[in-house]
């Protein structure tokens, strides 16, 4: 029995693929996370001849595995810097389509692949649909940092007002989570984020920060699967 949340993710993902991955597209960016599993499932339902003519650019070890397991052509963003469309999940999306990403620690590659695309599309379930960032996602803004700099960055983030900011620790390993890029992660709660673009700029200016999981003014459209089986669409 599929849960309501899983059904909501699937509905959003399927509709986004159907409406944004066109037969003329040759390069598709594929995000990371559990909602993206449904994106790849829908891609695999397309005409195999069409998929054979298309390259898919993953954003993590996880999404690369999904694409390879499906027998799809995989390419790197340095080979394919012009992407037709990138579809990805999010941890929270506000009324202006700003998003928090990086719950899965993949936001560095996700941001590069989203910025390389002509169009960036978000897929999520109803729990991610907010007016203001920080309403529902309480874990904080994910910040990827160079390992040697983590404590200096953490103190600066705490001094910026995120008193509960902390290093993300691994669950099945002693010590911190290490990203696909060999870095550490800090999760920094800032309460309600009224001005995400300004916060992004301030955090990014701290030396040692590699990338911030605030995606501001990037998404063109977001699909939210609802509990009742409908899909809410938000556009710019």
Ligand X SMILES: O=C(CO)[C@H](O)[C@H](O)COP(=O)(O)O
Interacting residues with ligand X (CB under 6 A): 31-35, 88-91, 101-107, 110
Shortest distance (Å) from residue 207 CB to ligand X? 23
Q: Is 164 helix (H, G, I), strand (E, B) or coil?
A: coil
Nearest residue (CB) to ligand X, 101 versus 168: 101
Burial 6-39, CB ≥16 within 10 A → b, else e: bbbbbbbbbbbbeebbeeebebbbbbbbebbbbb
Nearest residue (CB) to ligand X, 163 versus 204: 204
Residue 231 tokens, joined? 């899909």
Residue 195 tokens, joined? 């001005």
Residue 157 tokens, joined? 């983030």
Is 144 among the residues known to form the active site? no
Nearest residue (CB) to ligand X, 13 versus 153: 13
- Determine the Cα–Cα distance for residues 39 and 17; give it in Å rounded to an integer: 7
Shortest distance (Å) from residue 108 CB to ligand X? 9
The one catalytic residue among 6, 49, 110, 135: 110
Write the DSSP symbol of residue 168: P
Residue 159 tokens, joined? 């001094």
Pairing between strand 73-74 and 209-212?
Answer: unpaired
Using Cβ positions, the residue closest to ligand X within the complex turns out to be 33
Write the DSSP symbol of residue 36: H
Shortest distance (Å) from residue 228 CB to ligand X? 19
Nearest residue (CB) to ligand X, 108 versus 206: 108
Shortest distance (Å) from residue 33 CB to ligand X? 3
CA distance to 105, 153, 159, 210, per residue, from 205 (Å): 20, 10, 14, 10
- Give the residue numbers annotated as catalytic, written as ranges: 110
């Amino acid at each position: 029995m599929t849960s309501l949340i899983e059904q909501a993710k699937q509905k959003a993902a399927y509709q986004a693929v159907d409406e944004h991955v066109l037969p003329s597209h040759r390069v598709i960016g594929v995000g990371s996370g559990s909602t993206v599993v449904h994106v790849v499932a829908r891609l695999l339902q397309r005409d195999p001849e069409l998929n054979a003519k298309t390259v898919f650019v993953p954003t993590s070890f996880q999404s690369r595995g999904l694409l390879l397991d499906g027998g799809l052509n995989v390419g790197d963003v340095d080979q394919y810097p012009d992407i037709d469309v990138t579809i990805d999940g999010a941890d929270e999306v506000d009324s202006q389509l700003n998003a928090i990403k990086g719950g899965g620690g993949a936001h560095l590659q996700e941001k590069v692949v989203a910025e390389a695309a002509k169009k960036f599309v978000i897929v999520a379930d109803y729990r991610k649909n907010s007016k203001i960032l920080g309403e529902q996602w309480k874990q904080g803004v994910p910040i990827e940092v160079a390992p040697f700099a983590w404590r200096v960055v953490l103190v600066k983030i705490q001094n910026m007002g995120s008193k509960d900011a902390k290093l993300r620790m691994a669950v099945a390993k002693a010590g911190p989570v290490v990203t696909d890029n060999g870095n550490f992660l800090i999760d920094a709660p800032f309460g309600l984020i009224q001005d995400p673009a300004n916060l992004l700029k301030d955090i990014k200016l701290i030396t040692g920060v590699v990338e911030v999981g605030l995606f501001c003014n990037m998404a063109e459209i977001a699909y939210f699967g609802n509990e009742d089986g409908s899909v809410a669409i938000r556009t710019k």
